[in-house]
Amino acid sequence: MTLDEFRQSLTAAEPSGGLTHALTGLWWDGKGDWKRAHESAQKDEGTEGSWVHAYLHRTEGDRDNAAYWYSRAGKPVCREALDAEWLSIVQELLR
């Protein structure tokens, strides 16, 4: 799936069945559903899920929890705009 296809899929009612849990979390976040995004990210206990989990806690303003999840993902705490981080993560996970 390309980035454009991922963005276009946000018009659907449900995410594509071929997405990882981490990408599904970002998909739900793109739809504005933090709760479902968080539930999806939690299903992936690896680095990708941890990275999305960190981003999601950052979006809710929970910096300490976000820092913990960035550490689990092996990523530095992000300081860029939230929409830029969302895009960066999606691009990386679609590779």
pLDDT tens-place string over residues 40-95: 999 999 999 999 999 999 999 999 999 999 999 999 999 999 999 999 999 999 99
Give the model's confidence band at 17: pLDDT under 50 very low, under 70 low, under 90 confident, else very high.
confident
Q: What is the pLDDT of residue 63?
A: 95
Q: Which two tokens stand for residue 58?
A: 């950052």
What residue spans define the domains of the chain?
20-94
| Domain formed by 20-94, architecture | Alpha Horseshoe (1.25)
* pTM for the full predicted model: 0.95
pLDDT greater than 90 at residue 9: yes
- Residue 92: the pLDDT is 97
Whether the Cβ atoms of residue 52 and residue 20 lie closer than 8 Å to each other = no
Q: Which residue has the tokens 């998909």?
A: 27
